Structure formats: structure tokens, C-alpha cells
């Protein structure tokens, strides 16, 4: 059973109206056109945010790199903790991005 959902922003209702299944007995499918099929989460806003503030992120990373160069031995534990935290967040974000988009 396949359900094909198509977005139509012009419809006034937010629910699905399925009347009949199409296809044959071995591979039926349903075509649904509704406003509820439209995407609610737009990940491109995240990339727009990162692009808009990339100068600030770059300045922060340059300052952090300079501090690690000067006081690297004393800051190794905090930097490993922060790197582990950020890599976990990145991995979780990529998983969510791959699953839900």
C-alpha cells in the first residue's frame, strides 16, 4: 500500500479526505492532495541562519583557536568536552536531517 501525499496550500482544510484506493489488488495506492501534506519544518532556515552569522562564528573560532594555541595544555580537557558535545549535536542533527527531510 502506497500513500502519495501532495501539498496544496490553497485548500482551506487541514485534514485528509481519502475516498478510494487506486491500482490493483497487489499494489494499491492512494493519492491525497491536502494542505496538511505541506512541510511544517523547513531546514533551509537553519542554513540561512548559519550563513547570515558566519562572520561571528568565524571570529569566535579564530579566538578559540588562538587561546588553544597559547594555553593548549591547560585547556585540553575543556576542549575535548566541547568537541565531543559539538560532534554529538552535529551527528544528531544529521540523523534528524536525513530522517525527516
Three cell numbers, residue 38: 505541506
**Total number of domains in the chain:** 2
Q: Is the pTM of this model over 0.75?
A: no
61 and 93 inside one domain:
yes
| Cα 97 to Cα 43: distance, rounded to the nearest angstrom | 8
C-beta of residue 11 within 8 angstroms of C-beta of residue 35: yes
Domain that holds residue 20: 2-37
63 and 19 inside one domain:
no
Q: pLDDT tens digits for the chain (101 residues)?
A: 888 877 877 776 666 666 677 888 888 888 877 777 776 656 677 778 888 999 999 999 999 889 889 988 888 898 899 999 999 999 998 898 888 76
15 and 53 inside one domain:
no
| Cα 46 to Cα 74: distance, rounded to the nearest angstrom | 34
Amino acid at each position: 500500500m502506497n500513500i502519495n501525499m501532495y501539498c496544496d496550500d490553497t485548500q482551506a482544510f487541514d485534514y485528509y479526505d481519502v475516498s478510494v484506493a487506486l491500482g490493483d489488488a497487489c499494489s494499491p495506492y492512494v493519492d491525497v492532495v491536502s494542505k496538511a501534506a505541506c512541510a511544517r519544518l523547513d531546514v533551509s532556515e537553519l542554513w540561512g541562519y548559519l550563513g547570515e552569522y558566519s562572520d561571528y562564528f568565524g571570529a569566535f573560532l579564530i579566538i578559540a583557536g588562538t587561546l588553544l594555541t597559547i594555553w593548549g595544555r591547560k585547556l585540553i580537557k575543556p576542549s575535548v568536552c566541547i568537541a565531543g558535545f559539538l560532534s554529538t549535536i552535529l551527528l544528531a542533527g544529521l540523523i534528524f536531517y536525513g530522517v525527516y527531510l
